[in-house]
Structure 1
Amino acid sequence: MRYEQRGDLHLGPLWLDAHLPPALAPWLRETFGIEAYSAAYLGLRDAEDAAIFAQAREAGAVIVSKDADFLERVVRLGPPPRLIYLTCGNTSKAALKILFERQFEQIAILLESGEAVVEVSG
Protein backbone atom coordinates (compact mmCIF):
# COMPACT_ATOMS: atom_id res chain seq x y z
CA MET A 1 0.00 0.00 0.00
CA ARG A 2 1.55 3.28 -1.07
CA TYR A 3 0.56 6.47 0.66
CA GLU A 4 -0.29 9.27 -1.74
CA GLN A 5 1.58 12.22 -0.28
CA ARG A 6 -0.17 15.54 -0.40
CA GLY A 7 1.90 18.42 -1.66
CA ASP A 8 1.11 20.47 1.44
CA LEU A 9 2.25 17.86 3.99
CA HIS A 10 4.64 19.52 6.45
CA LEU A 11 5.46 17.27 9.39
CA GLY A 12 9.11 18.09 9.90
CA PRO A 13 11.73 15.35 9.88
CA LEU A 14 10.94 12.20 11.85
CA TRP A 15 13.74 11.08 14.16
CA LEU A 16 13.48 7.44 15.22
CA ASP A 17 14.97 6.73 18.60
CA ALA A 18 17.62 4.08 19.13
CA HIS A 19 15.12 1.46 20.33
CA LEU A 20 13.42 1.32 16.93
CA PRO A 21 14.81 -0.60 13.93
CA PRO A 22 17.06 1.74 11.89
CA ALA A 23 15.70 0.17 8.67
CA LEU A 24 12.30 1.65 9.48
CA ALA A 25 13.55 5.15 8.52
CA PRO A 26 14.25 4.47 4.82
CA TRP A 27 10.99 2.54 4.59
CA LEU A 28 9.09 5.56 5.99
CA ARG A 29 10.83 7.83 3.46
CA GLU A 30 10.03 5.54 0.53
CA THR A 31 6.48 4.71 1.58
CA PHE A 32 5.24 8.11 2.72
CA GLY A 33 7.61 10.52 0.98
CA ILE A 34 8.69 12.16 4.24
CA GLU A 35 12.02 12.85 5.92
CA ALA A 36 12.82 10.09 8.42
CA TYR A 37 16.14 9.27 10.05
CA SER A 38 17.35 6.70 12.56
CA ALA A 39 19.23 7.72 15.68
CA ALA A 40 22.28 5.91 14.29
CA TYR A 41 22.16 7.91 11.04
CA LEU A 42 21.92 11.14 13.06
CA GLY A 43 24.88 10.14 15.24
CA LEU A 44 22.59 9.95 18.28
CA ARG A 45 22.43 6.19 18.87
CA ASP A 46 24.22 6.43 22.23
CA ALA A 47 23.12 9.96 23.15
CA GLU A 48 21.20 10.78 26.31
CA ASP A 49 17.50 11.61 25.95
CA ALA A 50 18.13 15.22 27.00
CA ALA A 51 20.65 15.71 24.18
CA ILE A 52 18.35 14.11 21.61
CA PHE A 53 15.45 16.26 22.79
CA ALA A 54 17.53 19.46 22.59
CA GLN A 55 18.80 18.70 19.09
CA ALA A 56 15.32 17.69 17.90
CA ARG A 57 13.96 20.95 19.32
CA GLU A 58 16.56 22.90 17.35
CA ALA A 59 15.78 20.98 14.15
CA GLY A 60 11.99 21.18 14.52
CA ALA A 61 11.89 17.39 14.34
CA VAL A 62 9.24 14.89 15.35
CA ILE A 63 10.63 12.17 17.62
CA VAL A 64 9.25 8.66 17.10
CA SER A 65 9.70 6.66 20.29
CA LYS A 66 8.34 4.13 22.76
CA ASP A 67 10.24 5.90 25.55
CA ALA A 68 8.01 7.53 28.19
CA ASP A 69 10.89 9.91 29.01
CA PHE A 70 10.28 11.74 25.73
CA LEU A 71 6.57 11.98 26.53
CA GLU A 72 7.38 13.49 29.92
CA ARG A 73 9.75 16.01 28.35
CA VAL A 74 7.28 17.16 25.69
CA VAL A 75 4.52 17.52 28.30
CA ARG A 76 6.81 19.39 30.72
CA LEU A 77 8.75 21.58 28.25
CA GLY A 78 6.32 21.80 25.33
CA PRO A 79 7.09 21.36 21.66
CA PRO A 80 9.14 21.38 19.63
CA PRO A 81 9.95 18.62 19.26
CA ARG A 82 6.66 16.90 18.77
CA LEU A 83 6.33 13.20 19.52
CA ILE A 84 4.85 10.13 17.88
CA TYR A 85 4.54 8.02 21.01
CA LEU A 86 4.35 4.30 20.24
CA THR A 87 2.53 2.31 22.91
CA CYS A 88 2.58 -1.00 21.06
CA GLY A 89 5.29 -2.58 23.22
CA ASN A 90 8.16 -4.57 21.78
CA THR A 91 7.27 -5.59 18.26
CA SER A 92 8.90 -6.47 14.96
CA LYS A 93 9.82 -4.14 12.12
CA ALA A 94 7.12 -5.82 10.02
CA ALA A 95 4.49 -5.09 12.68
CA LEU A 96 5.65 -1.47 12.92
CA LYS A 97 5.30 -1.11 9.15
CA ILE A 98 1.72 -2.40 9.32
CA LEU A 99 1.00 -0.02 12.19
CA PHE A 100 2.26 2.97 10.19
CA GLU A 101 0.47 1.86 7.01
CA ARG A 102 -2.82 1.72 8.89
CA GLN A 103 -2.41 4.90 10.92
CA PHE A 104 -0.11 7.27 9.01
CA GLU A 105 -2.85 9.43 7.55
CA GLN A 106 -4.35 10.04 11.01
CA ILE A 107 -0.89 10.64 12.50
CA ALA A 108 -0.17 13.23 9.79
CA ILE A 109 -3.52 14.97 10.30
CA LEU A 110 -2.96 15.25 14.05
CA LEU A 111 0.61 16.52 13.70
CA GLU A 112 -0.41 19.03 11.04
CA SER A 113 -3.20 20.28 13.30
CA GLY A 114 -0.60 21.13 15.95
CA GLU A 115 -0.81 18.17 18.31
CA ALA A 116 2.37 17.96 20.39
CA VAL A 117 1.96 14.23 21.08
CA VAL A 118 0.30 11.62 18.89
CA GLU A 119 -0.11 8.29 20.65
CA VAL A 120 -0.06 5.26 18.37
CA SER A 121 -1.04 1.84 19.68
CA GLY A 122 -1.11 -1.49 17.92
Structure 2
Amino acid sequence: MLPECWEIWLDVQISPIIAKWMAEHTGLIVKSSFILGFQSMTDLAIYQKAKAQGKVIIVSKDADFTEIVTRLGSPPKLINLKIGNCDNRTLWHFLRNYIDAAIKMLAESDVNIIEIE
Protein backbone atom coordinates (compact mmCIF):
# COMPACT_ATOMS: atom_id res chain seq x y z
CA MET A 1 0.00 0.00 0.00
CA LEU A 2 1.46 3.35 -1.03
CA PRO A 3 1.26 6.38 1.27
CA GLU A 4 -1.75 8.40 0.14
CA CYS A 5 -0.81 11.65 1.88
CA TRP A 6 2.16 12.31 -0.41
CA GLU A 7 1.99 14.17 -3.71
CA ILE A 8 4.29 13.41 -6.62
CA TRP A 9 5.51 16.38 -8.69
CA LEU A 10 7.16 15.76 -12.05
CA ASP A 11 9.89 18.11 -13.20
CA VAL A 12 9.47 20.08 -16.41
CA GLN A 13 11.52 17.70 -18.60
CA ILE A 14 9.05 14.85 -17.88
CA SER A 15 5.90 14.82 -20.01
CA PRO A 16 2.47 15.35 -18.44
CA ILE A 17 1.39 11.98 -19.91
CA ILE A 18 3.81 10.33 -17.45
CA ALA A 19 1.91 12.06 -14.63
CA LYS A 20 -1.33 10.56 -15.91
CA TRP A 21 0.13 7.06 -16.22
CA MET A 22 1.83 7.27 -12.84
CA ALA A 23 -1.37 8.44 -11.11
CA GLU A 24 -3.31 5.57 -12.68
CA HIS A 25 -0.59 3.09 -11.65
CA THR A 26 -0.05 4.29 -8.06
CA GLY A 27 -3.42 5.78 -7.14
CA LEU A 28 -1.57 8.84 -5.82
CA ILE A 29 -1.86 12.50 -6.73
CA VAL A 30 0.71 13.10 -9.46
CA LYS A 31 1.13 16.56 -10.96
CA SER A 32 3.21 17.67 -13.91
CA SER A 33 5.14 20.93 -13.86
CA PHE A 34 2.73 22.19 -16.51
CA ILE A 35 -0.32 21.65 -14.26
CA LEU A 36 1.59 23.26 -11.38
CA GLY A 37 2.62 26.22 -13.56
CA PHE A 38 6.34 25.64 -12.96
CA GLN A 39 7.58 25.71 -16.58
CA SER A 40 9.66 28.87 -16.17
CA MET A 41 10.61 28.52 -12.49
CA THR A 42 14.10 27.74 -11.26
CA ASP A 43 14.83 24.44 -9.57
CA LEU A 44 15.40 26.27 -6.28
CA ALA A 45 12.00 28.01 -6.53
CA ILE A 46 10.30 24.66 -7.21
CA TYR A 47 12.16 23.14 -4.25
CA GLN A 48 10.96 25.99 -2.01
CA LYS A 49 7.32 25.51 -3.12
CA ALA A 50 7.60 21.77 -2.48
CA LYS A 51 9.16 22.39 0.94
CA ALA A 52 6.27 24.69 1.88
CA GLN A 53 3.76 22.06 0.69
CA GLY A 54 5.36 19.38 2.87
CA LYS A 55 4.91 15.79 1.76
CA VAL A 56 6.09 16.08 -1.83
CA ILE A 57 8.28 13.73 -3.84
CA ILE A 58 9.83 15.34 -6.91
CA VAL A 59 10.63 13.10 -9.88
CA SER A 60 13.37 14.62 -12.03
CA LYS A 61 16.12 13.84 -14.50
CA ASP A 62 17.95 17.01 -13.40
CA ALA A 63 21.08 16.61 -11.26
CA ASP A 64 20.49 20.09 -9.78
CA PHE A 65 17.67 18.73 -7.60
CA THR A 66 20.03 16.15 -6.09
CA GLU A 67 22.40 18.95 -5.10
CA ILE A 68 19.60 21.12 -3.69
CA VAL A 69 17.98 18.35 -1.60
CA THR A 70 21.42 17.20 -0.37
CA ARG A 71 22.37 20.75 0.64
CA LEU A 72 19.04 22.01 2.02
CA GLY A 73 17.38 18.78 3.18
CA SER A 74 13.88 17.50 2.86
CA PRO A 75 11.03 17.81 2.36
CA PRO A 76 10.76 17.52 -0.57
CA LYS A 77 12.18 14.10 -1.27
CA LEU A 78 13.54 13.18 -4.69
CA ILE A 79 13.48 10.39 -7.23
CA ASN A 80 16.31 11.15 -9.63
CA LEU A 81 16.02 9.31 -12.95
CA LYS A 82 19.31 8.40 -14.57
CA ILE A 83 18.04 7.80 -18.09
CA GLY A 84 18.87 9.82 -21.17
CA ASN A 85 16.44 11.32 -23.63
CA CYS A 86 13.80 8.84 -24.70
CA ASP A 87 10.17 8.74 -25.74
CA ASN A 88 7.40 8.73 -23.15
CA ARG A 89 6.60 5.01 -23.43
CA THR A 90 10.23 4.04 -22.95
CA LEU A 91 10.50 6.32 -19.90
CA TRP A 92 7.30 4.93 -18.39
CA HIS A 93 8.37 1.30 -18.96
CA PHE A 94 11.68 2.14 -17.27
CA LEU A 95 10.03 3.92 -14.36
CA ARG A 96 7.00 1.77 -13.60
CA ASN A 97 9.11 -1.19 -12.47
CA TYR A 98 10.60 0.87 -9.63
CA ILE A 99 8.15 3.65 -8.78
CA ASP A 100 6.07 1.89 -6.11
CA ALA A 101 9.10 0.74 -4.11
CA ALA A 102 10.84 4.11 -4.48
CA ILE A 103 7.81 6.08 -3.24
CA LYS A 104 7.27 3.70 -0.34
CA MET A 105 10.93 3.91 0.73
CA LEU A 106 10.99 7.72 0.57
CA ALA A 107 7.68 8.11 2.39
CA GLU A 108 8.41 5.62 5.16
CA SER A 109 12.11 6.18 5.92
CA ASP A 110 14.76 8.83 6.46
CA VAL A 111 16.01 8.35 2.89
CA ASN A 112 15.74 11.65 1.00
CA ILE A 113 16.95 10.74 -2.50
CA ILE A 114 16.60 7.63 -4.62
CA GLU A 115 18.39 7.33 -7.94
CA ILE A 116 16.91 4.97 -10.52
CA GLU A 117 19.27 3.88 -13.28
The two structures have a TM-score, normalised by structure 2, of 0.90
Tell me the residue number matched to 2:116: 120
3-state SS of paired residue (1:64) = strand
Moved over 4 A (4+): none
Quote how far apart the aligned CAs of 1:11 are: 6.2
Could you tell me which runs of 5 or more consecutive residues in structure 2 were left unpaired when the two chains were aligned.
none
Matching residue of 1:55: 49
Alpha-carbon separation, structure 1, partners of 2:5 and 2:13: 22
Measured after TM superposition, the shift of residue 91 of structure 1 is 1.8
Structure 1 CA distance for aligned equivalents of residues 19 and 5 of structure 2: 15
Q: Of residues 47, 59, 62 in structure 2, which corresponds to 1:67?
A: 62
- Aligned pair count reads 115
Q: Which runs of 5+ in 1 are unaligned?
A: 1-5
How far apart, CA to CA, are the structure 1 residues paired with 2:5 and 2:86? Answer: 25
2:87 equivalent in structure 1? 92
Shift of 1:104: 2.0
CA offset at residue 118 of structure 1? 0.7
- Change in Cα spacing, 1:73 to 1:83, as seen in structure 2 (3 Å) is same
Q: Output the CA distance in 2 between the equivalents of 1:82 and 1:32.
A: 17
Report how far residue 14 of structure 1 moved.
Answer: 0.8
The reply to whether residue 45 of structure 1 matches residue 39 of structure 2 is yes
How many Å separate the matches in 2 of 1:108 and 1:82? 9
Q: Kindly indicate whether residue 110 of structure 2 is the aligned counterpart of residue 110 of structure 1.
A: no
Q: How much identity, in percent, do the aligned residues show? A: 36
Out of 50-59 and 88-97, give the one that drifted further.
Answer: 88-97
Higher share of residues assigned helix: 2
